[in-house]
Structure formats: C-alpha cells, structure tokens
C-alpha cells in the first residue's frame, strides 16, 4: 500500500494494490474509489485532502509489514 500526496492539487491517492484500475465510482464529493477488472478495490482518490484528512500525523498499529518513509 502506498500513500501519495500531491500538494499542487491537494489530493491524496491511496494505492491499495499493484493492479490497474479499470472502473471508478465517486462515493462522496471528491472521494473516488478505483476498482480492478475483477471488481476489487485498488485505490482511493481524495480531492481537497487537507480539508478531509488529517495529513500531519500518520500512525501504524500492528501492521505485518516493512515500513518505508519518504519525505518530500
């Protein structure tokens, strides 16, 4: 999973899978879910992210994963 913030557009994209998106559905104003060809959720796009998501802090609890941080 990857979180990508784009300050120039104030959008946050959460990549949940390496699979390509083939369908998208806006579930709320500025919140779009992306699905693969099998209907599995592969990404979440959040417009005006700074107004919808707390971007200043990111917490991980008990994730069975290696954590990589890349700062801009």
Confidence of residue 72 (pLDDT cuts 50, 70, 90): low
The answer on pLDDT for 22 being more than 80 is yes
Domain count, the chain: 1
Integer Cα distance of 68 and 8 in angstroms = 23
The answer on pLDDT for 71 being more than 70 is no
Looking at the domain assignment, is residue 36 inside a domain?
yes
Average pLDDT over the chain, rounded to whole?
91
Looking at the domain assignment, is residue 47 inside a domain?
yes
User: Which of the 8 DSSP states describes residue 39?
Assistant: S
Kindly report the backbone phi and psi dihedral angles of residue 51, in degrees, each rounded to the nearest multiple of 5, phi listed first.
-95, -15
Looking at the domain assignment, is residue 71 inside a domain?
no
Mean pLDDT of 14-33: 96
Residue-number span of the structural domain to which 29 is assigned: 2-52
Looking at the domain assignment, is residue 70 inside a domain?
no
* Helix, coil or strand: residue 49: helix
């Amino acid at each position: 999973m990857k979180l990508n913030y784009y300050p120039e557009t104030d959008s946050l994209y959460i990549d949940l899978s390496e699979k390509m998106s083939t369908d998208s559905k806006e579930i709320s104003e500025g919140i779009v879910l992306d699905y693969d060809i099998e209907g599995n959720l592969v990404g979440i796009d959040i417009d005006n992210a700074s107004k919808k998501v707390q971007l200043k802090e990111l917490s991980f609890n008990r994730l069975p994963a290696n954590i990589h941080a890349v700062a801009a």
